[in-house]
């Protein structure tokens, strides 16, 4: 009699069970048959293992049936774990029993190249593919590392609202929703203003959640719904923001390098690129310096303007590393930015541009803490003052210098994983003209 002490084991932990009989519960990634041997690639979410079935071990009818199971058939497999140098993971499973849960025919996503439209239409199934699986694991790891980073530095997580009564910055287009009877609400585009309030209560805070942009952007760097991390520091300065964002990026890259080796290998990511970022020491240049640099390049840049995509690309390429650009002309930055005391035409803002074309990953700076200055700015930008009264209260009751930044999660994950497009870096991307599935 076979014993009943069979234990269910995650594929990722099979190495700890060499020589033991185990059960793996998962899905059939692929099945190759060599006549009297079947090779089953079984994935269970934690990894993939190859199961070997030799004719004679199972009754013939069962052996035939297993050989005809389609891709993504769900099944339970019993077998003995065996060390095998031929396996990429070092172990194989000598299968003694297969219990199909569902026999699948015509799984839509074949083991071949597919176009983006087809894959996005089948995003719910595409997630099962090796590379997408790896990206999701890295994303999860990055989110964890973000939480750890801020927790270790004494920050408090403060969740920002998603419904907001009006624009946070008044620039980008917002998604409008009906809020009961006649009222309108908007989906937040940033939690920053709320974090400023939270920082006055808790000192060092951050929020991390989805934000929404109704801009009709159709590029590989844009989503209409994406996740943004926004720390805010009471008594913080522009320098603090630059130091903190660099330390964060270094931490994220280091963590992923240390804990996601398998995933990065699956994604065929060039590790030397990541290791370079993990060393830190990002160049920091002023807008004025960047402008001089661009003058020697041929991007059509005009001093005083914001950088366009070609300018950003040229700067990123010139340094080949993440580069921080700070002290921007005030008129092209948001109303709440503090002016540089050394030159009031400049705003104390900073953007971090990633190399390899991933664009602006971090944007932030020091906030204006002076009440009268903000009142003037709101008037100059023709913003409705009554909507900002609560924000102005922060300058009426114990105002202090403070600073913060925002980091786009999907751009960061795309950068780390080397993906061409941010849509692969969020489980279910929401984009212009695409909200299915």
Phi and psi (nearest 5°) for 362?
-130, 140
**CA-CA distance, 375 to 368, in Å (whole number)?**
11
Q: Choose the stretch contacting RNA; rule: CB under 7 A; options: 101-109, 266-274, 337-345, 382-390.
A: 101-109
Q: Choose the stretch contacting RNA; rule: CB under 7 A; options: 103-111, 247-255, 384-392, 394-402.
A: 103-111
Candidates 160, 362, 374, 394: give the one binding RNA (CB under 7 A). Answer: 362
- DSSP summary character for residue 50: E
Residue 407 near RNA by CB under 7 A:
yes
Binding residues among 132-191 for RNA as defined by CB under 7 A: 171-172, 190
Candidates 102, 217, 345, 385: give the one binding RNA (CB under 7 A). Answer: 217
In angstroms, give the least distance from the CB of 335 to RNA.
11
Total interface residues for RNA by CB under 7 A: 72
User: Which of residues 297 and 372 has its CB atom nearest to RNA in the complex?
Assistant: 297
Residue 34 near RNA by CB under 7 A:
yes
Around 413, how many Cα atoms within 13 Å sit in the side-chain half-sphere?
Answer: 30
Residue 304 near RNA by CB under 7 A:
no
Residue 360 near RNA by CB under 7 A:
yes
Our CA angle for 18, 19, 21, nearest 5°, is: 100
Candidates 62, 276, 306, 370: give the one binding RNA (CB under 7 A). Answer: 306
Residue 359 near RNA by CB under 7 A:
yes
In angstroms, give the least distance from the CB of 115 to RNA.
3
In angstroms, give the least distance from the CB of 366 to RNA.
15
Q: Which of 365, 404, 399 is nearest to 206 (CA)?
A: 404
Residue 77 near RNA by CB under 7 A:
no
**CA-CA distance, 368 to 400, in Å (whole number)?**
9
CA dihedral 199, 201, 206, 207 (to 10 degrees): -120
Q: Is the dihedral of CA 116, 118, 123, 127 positive or negative?
A: negative
Both tokens assigned to 238: 């522009």
Rounded alpha-carbon distances, angstroms, from residue 114 to 120, 347, 417? 10, 46, 20
User: Which of residues 245 and 402 has its CB atom nearest to RNA in the complex?
Assistant: 245
CB distance 409 to 227 below 8 Å: yes
Strand, helix or coil at 273? Answer: helix
Residue 80 near RNA by CB under 7 A:
no
Strand, helix or coil at 252? Answer: helix
Q: Choose the stretch contacting RNA; rule: CB under 7 A; options: 7-15, 32-40, 269-277, 388-396.
A: 32-40
Q: H/E element holding 362?
A: strand 359-367
In angstroms, give the least distance from the CB of 264 to RNA.
17
Binding residues among 338-357 for RNA as defined by CB under 7 A: none
Candidates 90, 116, 344, 384: give the one binding RNA (CB under 7 A). Answer: 116
Binding residues among 222-241 for RNA as defined by CB under 7 A: 222-224, 226, 228
User: Which of residues 225 and 393 has its CB atom nearest to RNA in the complex?
Assistant: 225
Q: Choose the stretch contacting RNA; rule: CB under 7 A; options: 140-148, 251-259, 283-291, 302-310.
A: 302-310
Our CA angle for 315, 316, 318, nearest 5°, is: 60
Both tokens assigned to 123: 């995003």
Residue 398 near RNA by CB under 7 A:
no
**CA-CA distance, 352 to 253, in Å (whole number)?**
15
Binding residues among 37-76 for RNA as defined by CB under 7 A: 37, 39, 41, 50, 52, 54-56, 68, 70-71
Phi and psi (nearest 5°) for 399?
-70, 145
């Amino acid at each position: 009699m076979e014993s009943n002490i069979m234990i269910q084991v995650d594929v990722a932990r099979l190495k700890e069970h060499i020589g033991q009989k185990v059960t793996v519960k998962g899905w059939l990634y692929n099945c190759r048959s060599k006549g009297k041997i079947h090779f089953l690639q079984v994935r269970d979410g934690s990894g993939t293992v190859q199961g070997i079935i030799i004719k004679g071990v199972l009754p013939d009818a069962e052996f035939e049936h297993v050989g005809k199971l389609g891709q993504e058939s769900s099944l339970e497999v019993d077998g003995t774990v065996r060390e095998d140098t031929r396996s990429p993971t070092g172990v194989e499973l000598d299968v003694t029993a297969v219990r199909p849960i569902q026999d699948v025919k015509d799984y839509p996503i074949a083991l071949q190249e597919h176009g983006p439209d087809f894959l996005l239409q089948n995003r719910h199934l595409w997630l099962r593919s090796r590379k997408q699986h790896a990206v999701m694991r890295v994303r999860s790891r990055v989110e964890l590392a973000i939480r750890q980073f801020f927790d270790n530095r004494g920050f408090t997580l403060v969740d920002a609202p998603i419904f907001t009564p009006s624009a946070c910055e008044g620039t980008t287009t917002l998604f409008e929703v009906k809020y009961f009877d006649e009222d309108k609400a908007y989906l937040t585009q940033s939690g920053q203003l709320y974090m400023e309030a939270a920082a006055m209560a808790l000192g060092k805070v951050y929020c991390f959640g989805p934000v929404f942009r109704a801009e009709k952007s159709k590029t590989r760097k844009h989503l209409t719904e994406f996740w943004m991390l926004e720390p805010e520091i009471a008594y913080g300065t522009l320098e603090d923001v630059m130091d903190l964002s660099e330390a964060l990026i270094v931490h994220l890259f280091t963590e992923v390098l240390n804990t996601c080796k398998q995933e990065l290998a699956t994604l065929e990511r060039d590790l030397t690129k990541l290791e370079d970022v993990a060393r830190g020491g990002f160049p920091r240049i002023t807008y004025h310096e960047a402008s001089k640099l661009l003058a020697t390049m041929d991007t059509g840049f005009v001093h005083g303007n914001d950088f366009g995509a070609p300018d950003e690309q040229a700067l990123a390429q010139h340094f080949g590393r993440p580069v921080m650009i700070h002290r921007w002309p005030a008129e092209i930055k948001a109303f709440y930015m503090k002016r540089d005391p050394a030159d009031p035409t400049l705003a104390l803002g900073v953007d971090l541009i990633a190399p390899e074309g991933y664009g602006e990953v971090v944007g932030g700076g020091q906030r204006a803490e002076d009440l009268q200055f903000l009142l003037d700015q709101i008037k100059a930008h023709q913003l409705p003052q009554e909507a900002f009264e609560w924000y102005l209260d922060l300058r009426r009751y114990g105002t202090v210098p403070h600073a913060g930044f925002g980091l786009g999660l999907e751009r960061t994950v795309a950068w780390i994983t080397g993906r061409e497009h941010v849509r692969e870096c969020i489980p279910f991307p929401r984009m212009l003209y695409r909200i299915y599935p």
